[in-house]
A and B are shown apart, each in its own frame.
Chain A
Amino acid sequence: MEPITLFKKKYTRLEKITKATCVVEADNVGYEELAYVAGRPAQVVKIMGNEVTLQVFSGTEGLGTNAEVIFTGRPPVLKVGDDLSGRFLNAYGNPIDYGPEIEGEIREIGGPSVNPVKRKQPSEFIPTGIAGIDLNNTLVTGQKIPFFADPDQPFNEVMSLVALRAKADKIILGGMGLLNDDYLYFRRIFENAGALHRIVCFINTTDDPPVERLLIPDMALTAAEYFAADKGEKVLVLLTDMTLYSDALSIVSNKMDQIPSKDSMPGSLYSDLARIYEKAVQLDNGGSITIIAVTTLSGGDITHAIPDNTGYITEGQLFLRRNTDIGKVIIDPFRSLSRLKNLVIGKKTRSDHAQVMNAAVRLYADAMNARSKQENGFDLTDYDMRTLQYARDYARQILAIDVNIGPDEMLNQTWSLFGKYFSKEEVSIKAEFTDRYWPIKDQ
């Protein structure tokens, strides 16, 4: 997105400058139009007569009142085309990998939404091998789902693992406020997997201005829409970290003197996030956009406005938690949820899937009750003891993020845990399934 000076209006007087915005008197300017202020990309966020307020993405530090303002006559755009494959770009869609400029068709970012009646119901199972996901929180193409994780958890690692196993035609990474080390980590892991040709990355690191992050999801999703809608490809979009994205939103709304609502987030946070996540879609040409995001929590608090609004928008969440019993990070079966799982389990997977999944989690919940009984110094019943033993095995064989097994194997292993520790009544699954799958005990 190089500055275009051709037939564009230029202005050389700023009326006002604040930390993130400046005001210029100008004619014939469009709302959300992209401009350059002394070469810095900026966007129109308010028009009051001739007074145009511009949000300067990289900040206004050092701007002179005589800075040159050039309007481009269009909103921010991305050039889309097959050229994008394998490329690393910044928030403006410009290469940061020392490769050539991108050639392609110019598309507005943050464009219109898909007509809901033109969508298809998501129905394709995405196996990841991670049983905590595939068994309990099955993913489906066209879904949008974040990892909820504390900052010290290995969310980027799990996310890249899922991405590489997911058999997507394209993986598009939108990195917001990435540590440079994490950026390099993603590069290496995609390279090592020989997946570079099917990857596009839009990267904003902690070295870049925070407000630039606001462009990243729209850039990534515009690229995704090109591959999914135009090319009929299955696209997986990774957005990390959406909490840092939301922080940037609150910086801007604060500077614009908007009344903050909960947790000093803008009152429009729900709509702002929904606009991004709702780009996830299953199209009738077979193309799809699946969004896997990261929302970091502070101290596991999911009532904070960012995870709370996210949870209300996405189709579930994958909650990472350290399990001290086995000393590993697990996919927490209680707080995690895939809302689209019902579209595939028992249909694309074995018919006992739903019942096995529910029974296993119920027994795990019993174990947690037994645990708290134990911690409060009460005697445990025989059943309590068995649930605790079961919980340890279940965490290790199913919930841990380093598990990598196929869908039938997950069910078989869970059945054998049932048989090992419980009676049929205690597991309480439809007779049809117990008759078929209950393990024969070797005495």
Chain B
Amino acid sequence: MTTGFIKAIISNLLIVEANGPFRQNEICYILDGNKKLMAEVIKADRNKAYIQAFESTRMLKYGTPVEFSGHMLEATLGPGLLSGNYDGLLHNLSAMQTNFIQKGDYPPALDFNKQWNFTPLVREGVRLQAGDWLGEVMENSIIHKIMVPFTLSGFWEVSRIAEGGDYKISDTIAELTDTNGRTVEVTMVQRWPVKKPVTAFLEKFRPGQLMETGIRIIDTMNPILQGGTGFIPGPFGSGKTVLQQSIARQAEADIVIIAACGERANEVVDLFTEFPELDDPWTGRKLIERTIIIANTSNMPVAAREASVYTAMTLGEYYRAMGLKVLLLADSTSRWAQALREMSNRLEELPGQDAFPVDLPSIISNFYARTGLVRLNNGKTGAITFIGTVSPAGGNLKEPVTESTRKATRCFYGLSQQRADSKRYPAIDPIDSYSKYLEYPEYLESMKDKTGENWFEKINELKNILLKGKEAYEQISILGDDGVSIDFHTAYWHAEVVDYVFLQQDAFDEIDARTPMERQKYMVDHLLETLHTPVKFYGFDEVQPFYKKIIDRYKQMNYEAFMSPAFVSYSEEIKKLLASPAAIS
């Protein structure tokens, strides 16, 4: 084993003189008294290893010994990860004893004493490769597949498989033999280096199925698909976290992995506190059962923040290989980029734009490339849908992290300061935001059952109404209320109706927070019918009061259960308003 000692300390960057070979990205341990502090090699220069410490370097000294571990940063994968709270390096936060996080306290993610009821899925003699299913256990309500370790290459024959029964994760449940007669014992745990993509699948293919979130401006106007990618940039306080947490609660996913990356600890506490209480709208079970939280809050060491997104992605890949639909959320990917910037600056690398490392765009695109929809070797499919938030400095969308992320993703949910200021939540800009999936014929085809034939035309019409409203508003602002014809006022108020009734959604109201697709379709049809109804106004000052009434009734409708008596009666009131004397065709 290679060892060494500390030669230099600059914040969390250490230079270590090594007495033997070491690898880029190898994990090493700083022997600080009776504690072992984790660090990662990020640069090699002859016998000098530049390492980033995943801990505070306070009171470390010149000469402090260091041990190289021989492996890269790895995630320990196996049953028991669900419902857990981990730090960025996958240490179990719930197993730490003290209130304050102690340096070098690294409880493992998995419980090595717990028994799992294993059911074999293969017989001896079968030929398998990495990622193929050997058996399964029940983890909460998820069927957790025990797989051929991702690290094994080529084909392996099952030379022994355990009978059904209770096992610990470290018990051998299978023995595999390759064509050269080499044998490995397989347990229910495997390790994988987090910075490498897991490629144990047959192929990736294009997403085509909606991932319903219950958020109208997303599902209808800018849908994200199973296995798709999206990002949410927005200035501080514009609602990125609230939106992402709504998605986490409501999305149609088997597993939700939330990486709190360099953000507030209190926001993670919200998840810890609320998810054990809230129901998964898709299964009726508690949300926490399908959730994994990776918490590397802003006061935790910066290097571990960078690792946290890779850790989360690796967990996603692990569950995807079981044929599950995984939703991965990261808040905020800008903090990850900043962590890279801090290290790059300390390494005195040539800075790129805004002092970020020059290879930031490729780091981001390589990361996003790990998501997606895959066909497994057994023909089943699995997906990682990824939505990351971006926190642009000064709210300026031209900065490097936003620009690089835009290139790597298909959905853009830009939050607008102006909409947030006027409390038009979710503050997704309805004009600038997009989903490229609306151009996917697979998607449009798949929606026919749910939303009928001309769904796409309806979405376009809504978008046109919004655009026309915006133009009308600009004209009214220039020419004055009476400087334009009444049509401009109508166009403006039509857009306001769509905005208030459909785009805006109260994330804190039990009913309004989530609109299932069936209800979204109903509302789109209802709204379009209203807006198609010709209404005659004799003066521009009649337009606003009329549509304010309409908006009010619709908002009341949004607060009522779908098709409840109150819901229906507001709907009827709208019909009456449209037919009233003020509205002669």
Contact = CB atoms under 8 A, between A and B. Distances in A.
A426 B548 contact: yes
A342 B506 CA distance: 12
B61 A379 contact: no
B341 A430 contact: no
A383 B548 CA distance: 12
A425 B552 contact: yes
B8 A48 contact: yes
A340 B98 CA distance: 26
B101 A261 contact: no
Contacts of B477: 373, 376
Tier of interface size on chain A: 35 or more
B85 interface: yes
B391 interface: yes
Interface in B146-177: none
A362 interface: yes
Contact of A142 (B103, B266, B272): B266
Contact of A32 (B58, B103, B264, B422): B58
A74 B421 CA distance: 48
Contacts, number: 200
A104 B559 CA distance: 57
B287 interface: no
Nearest to B86: A117
Contacts of A40: none
B299 A274 contact: yes
Contacts of A111: 100
Contacts of B266: 119, 121-122, 142-143, 280, 315, 340
29 contacts: A28-B63, A31-B58, A47-B61, A49-B62, A112-B100, A113-B299, A114-B101, A116-B269, A116-B295, A117-B85, A117-B94, A118-B96, A119-B266, A121-B272, A122-B266, A267-B341, A267-B342, A271-B262, A278-B297, A303-B396, A308-B395, A311-B237, A362-B422, A365-B422, A379-B480, A381-B544, A425-B545, A425-B552, A431-B556
Interface stretch (A127-135, A331-339, A396-404): A331-339
B268 interface: yes
Interface in B347-385: 351, 354-355
A329 interface: no
B426 to A, nearest CB: 14
Contacts of A1: none
A383 B549 CA distance: 14
Contacts of A31: 9, 57-61
A142 B103 CA distance: 24
Given A114-B99, A116-B295, A278-B265, A383 B508 contact: no
A316 B242 CA distance: 13
Given A49-B8, A115-B99, A361-B423, 17 more contacts: A27-B62, A28-B63, A29-B61, A30-B60, A46-B10, A74-B59, A113-B101, A115-B100, A116-B297, A117-B272, A259-B355, A271-B338, A311-B236, A312-B391, A334-B421, A376-B477, A379-B481
A258 B345 contact: yes
Nearest to B420: A337
Contacts of B556: 430-431
A285 B280 CA distance: 31
A430 B570 CA distance: 12
A121 B266 CA distance: 7
B256 interface: no
B355 A260 contact: yes
Nearest to A430: B559
Nearest to B6: A47
Contacts of B474: none
A27 B300 CA distance: 30
Contacts of B342: 267-268, 271
B185 interface: no
Contacts of B59: 30-33, 74-75
Contacts of A428: 548, 551-552, 555
B2 interface: no
A226 to B, nearest CB: 13
Given A259-B355, A379-B480, A278 B58 contact: no
Interface in A347-373: 354, 358, 361-362, 365, 373
B567 to A, nearest CB: 13
Which of A31, A46, A278, A424 has the most chain B CB within a 10 Å cutoff?
A: A31
Contacts of B181: none
Which of B394, B481, B482 has the most chain A CB within a 10 Å cutoff?
A: B394
A267 B299 contact: no
Interface of A: 27-33, 46-50, 74-75, 108, 111-122, 142-143, 229, 258-262, 267-268, 270-271, 274-275, 278-281, 283, 303-305, 308-309, 311-313, 315-317, 334-335, 337, 339-340, 342, 354, 358, 361-362, 365, 373, 376-379, 381-383, 424-426, 428, 430-431
Interface string B533-564: 00000000100110011011001100100000
B265 A116 contact: yes
A317 B236 CA distance: 10
Nearest to B332: A312
A268 to B, nearest CB: 5
Given A112-B102, A335-B421, A430-B556, A46 B9 contact: yes
Contacts of B481: 373, 378-379, 381
B302 interface: yes
A372 B88 CA distance: 49
B447 interface: no
Interface in B298-341: 298-300, 302, 335, 338, 341
Given A259-B345, A312-B391, A381-B544, A75 B93 contact: no
Contacts of A48: 7-8
A382 B542 CA distance: 11
B432 interface: no
B1 to A, nearest CB: 24
A69 B422 CA distance: 58
Interface in B267-313: 268-270, 272-273, 295, 297-300, 302
B99 A229 contact: yes
A275 B58 CA distance: 14
B189 to A, nearest CB: 23
